[in-house]
Amino acid sequence: MLNALLITGTDTDAGKTVVTAALAAYWQRYCTPTLGILKPIQSGIGDCEFYSQVFGLEPTQVTPIRFPAPLAPPLAATQAGESINLECAWQAFQQLQLQHRFVLVEGVGGLGSPITYETTVADLAWDWKLPALLVVPVKLGAIGQAVANVALARQTRVHLKGIVLNCNEPRTDLEIAQWAAPDLIRTLTGIPILGTLPYVADYKNIDELTHAATHLDLERILPLPTLEARSR
């Protein structure tokens, strides 16, 4: 079994980074073997710098390919007068796999988002044989977005382990039930809902991130049964 998981979403700002950070914070707090984080490609400033600051990671190891413009990667690369060499990202991924027990890979945008002029996130998941976790933000339209992205995953042969609903803003139980309707999404897609991540006010607070992760079905997301807990 591949020791990695792709965190993808229905779109930009779905909550991939906070879900990745919550899983990483929980692992860091309770699990002995180390965990790696990879954002293969980034346009603009944000996730790489965040992971570096919060988890003390080397930016070049987190994100081997970066462009200054906050555009789709192929457009950002063209604006910078550069090309995208995914072999560089693949080598970084392989290195993290050798160094860590498990690797979380955060994608860009959604499954259909372009990485190059010929390649999407879904293509990368297939090429790297990555199972994926789909992050769906709790908002109006969440149900349709979830159904569409699951259909794309099936079309591109991406294995979805499950769906995580994410509260980008404070949400009531009623809003979650009406806007994201977990049972309906599960019925329409056939994909399990592995929890709802509550609103995290401070993404840089490890304690808050760790607590948020406890709302997820962690044993179905991470290989926790094979790990030694630090608390022992």
Backbone dihedral region for residue 88 (phi beyond 0: left; psi -120 to 50: alpha; all else: beta): alpha
The structure tokens listed for 223 are 């290989």
> Are 113 and 29 contacting, i.e. CB atoms less than 8 angstroms apart?
no
Amino acid identity for residue 91 in this structure? Q
Whether 129 is catalytic: no
Tokens of 200: 């995290």
b/e map 42-62, b = 16+ CB within 10 Å: bbeeebbebbbebeebeeebb
Q: Could you say which of 16, 39, 129, 161 is catalytic?
A: 39
Catalytic residues: 39
